[in-house]
């Protein structure tokens, strides 16, 4: 039963593949050369981007399925059509030098039979947010691991793509753009925690490419705590 709950139905797999292709196109549109042209080099770069996106996306969604199951939910990843269109549009607009996208979010479906005797003390909003935080944590771990490995293997292009993709996911999954985004469950539970994680995400997504991972993590944590403190004391209170 546990494995069945964690499986990916056909519709969800098709959604993941579609999101992979569109985000892979946005990230891989510019292959780093002076002019953009569809040739063997561009296709190879595009395939590497798609592979990195798919790997990062599936791991994130799978971790959310595990946490969701433990909290009494069935989960399904839903794409954000407006966020994906924004990714393609901005990639073409800026010739692939910049892109902004929102992949989607994990939708939760409560199963009453799965709640019997399970976490009765947790509030529903907190349960929802924990699934979002689990995805965020999985992406953060993938970012740190892939960046660390790419430092050891500087010629491995796939690891470099993985680091880039997860740095983008860390921030873009927290953009609250309807209809689907992991940001909504988190912000619905606590706006202060949302600001805290968003600030950490922005900080580490930039600093990890400039500083050692440990320094980047502590710096980002300091940025997150500062942002959360000012938000809570000036706006939330």
Q: How far is CA 88 from CA 17, 105, 221, in A?
A: 16, 18, 32
Residue 121 pLDDT class (50, 70, 90 cuts): very low
* Cβ contact 197:224 at 8 Å: yes
Query: Mean pLDDT over residues 37-61, rounded?
Result: 93
Distance CA 108, CA 130 (A): 11
By CB neighbour count within 10 A (0-12 exposed, 13-18 middle, 19+ buried), where does 18 fall? middle
Q: How confident is the model at residue 194 (pLDDT cuts 50, 70, 90)?
A: very high
pLDDT of residue 73: 86
pTM exceeds 0.85 for this model: yes
Contact 176, 183 (CB under 8 A): yes
**Using N-to-C axis directions, what is the helix angle for 124-152 and 213-231, rounded to 10°?**
150
| Per-residue confidence (pLDDT) for residue 5, from 0 to 100 | 60
Is cis: bond before 91, omega within 30 of 0?
Answer: no
What are the pLDDT digits (tens) for 128-182? 899 999 999 999 999 999 999 988 898 899 999 999 999 999 999 999 998 888 8
Q: What is the pLDDT of residues 214-226, one digit of tens each?
A: 999 999 999 999 9
């Amino acid at each position: 039963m546990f494995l069945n709950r964690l499986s990916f139905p056909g519709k969800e797999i098709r959604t993941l593949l579609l999101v992979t292709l569109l985000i892979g196109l946005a990230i891989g549109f510019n292959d780093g050369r002076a002019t953009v042209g569809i040739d063997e080099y561009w296709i190879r770069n595009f395939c590497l981007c798609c592979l990195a996106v798919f790997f990062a996306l599936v791991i994130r969604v799978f971790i959310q399925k595990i946490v969701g199951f433990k909290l009494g939910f069935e989960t399904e990843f839903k794409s954000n059509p407006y966020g994906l269109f924004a990714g393609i549009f901005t990639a073409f607009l800026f010739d692939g030098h910049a892109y902004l996208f929102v992949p989607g979010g994990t939708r939760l479906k409560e199963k009453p039979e799965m709640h019997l005797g399970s976490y009765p003390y947790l509030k529903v909003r907190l349960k929802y947010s924990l699934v979002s935080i689990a995805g965020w944590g999985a992406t953060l771990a993938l970012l740190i691991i892939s960046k660390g490995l790419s430092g050891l293997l500087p010629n491995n292009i796939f690891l470099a793509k993985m680091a880039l993709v997860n740095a983008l996911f860390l921030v873009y999954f927290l953009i609250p753009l309807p209809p689907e985004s992991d940001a909504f469950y988190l912000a619905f539970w606590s706006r202060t925690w949302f600001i805290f994680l968003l600030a950490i995400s922005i900080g580490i997504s930039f600093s990890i490419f400039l500083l050692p991972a440990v320094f980047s993590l502590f710096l980002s944590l300091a940025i997150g705590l500062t942002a959360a403190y000012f938000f809570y004391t000036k706006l939330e209170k």
